[in-house]
Structure 1
Amino acid sequence: MDKDSRTVAELLNRALVESGLSQVAFATALGTSASRFSTYRSGRTKPTAQFFLRAGRIARALQAAREYRIMTALDTATAIREATDEDWAWRMLLQGRDHLRLLLARHDGSEAAWEAAPSTTGQANFDTLLAVLTAHEFAAAGEDPPQWTNVEALPDPWVPTHPFLEHNEIIEQTPDYLAQANVFIPARDLVTA
Structure 2
Amino acid sequence: MDKDSQAVTELLNRALAESGLSQAAFATALGTSASRFSTYRSGRTKPTAQFFLRAGRIARALQAAHEYRIMTSIDTATAIREARDEDWAWRMLLQGRDHLRLLLGRRDGSEAAWEAAPTTTGRAGFDTLLAVLTAREFQAAGEDSPQWTKVEGLADPWVPAHPFLEYDEIIEQTPDYLADANIFVPARDLVTA
Q: TM-score range by the shorter chain?
A: over 0.9
**Pairs aligned (count):** 193
Give the letter for the 1:173 counterpart: Q
Q: Which residue of 2 aligns with 1:77?
A: 77
**TM-score, normalized by length of structure 1?**
0.99
Distance, in Å, in 1 between the alignment partners of 2:48 and 2:4 is 13
1:126 aligns with 2:130: no
Question: 1:3-82 residue pairs with structure 2 within 5 A?
Answer: 3-82=3-82
Q: What is the deviation of 1:153?
A: 0.6
Q: 1:23-72: CA deviations, max 9, x gaps?
A: 00000100111111011011111000000000000000000000000000
Q: What is the deviation of 1:136?
A: 0.4
Q: 1:100-123: CA deviations, max 9, x gaps?
A: 000000000000000000000000
Question: 1:39-188 residue pairs with structure 2 within 5 A?
Answer: 39-188=39-188
Q: What is the deviation of 1:165?
A: 1.1
Moved over 6 A (4+): none
RMSD: 0.5
Q: 1:69-119: CA deviations, max 9, x gaps?
A: 000010000000000100000000000000000000000000000000000
Q: Give the percent of matched residue pairs that are identical in Structure 1 and Structure 2.
A: 87
Distance, in Å, in 2 between the alignment partners of 1:154 and 1:67 is 35
Distance, in Å, in 1 between the alignment partners of 2:160 and 2:19 is 35
**TM-score, normalized by length of structure 2?**
0.99
Distance, in Å, in 2 between the alignment partners of 1:157 and 1:46 is 43
In structure 2, the gaps of 5 or more residues are none
Q: What is the deviation of 1:192?
A: 0.4
Q: What is the deviation of 1:163?
A: 1.3
Q: What is the deviation of 1:6?
A: 0.5
Q: What is the deviation of 1:166?
A: 1.0
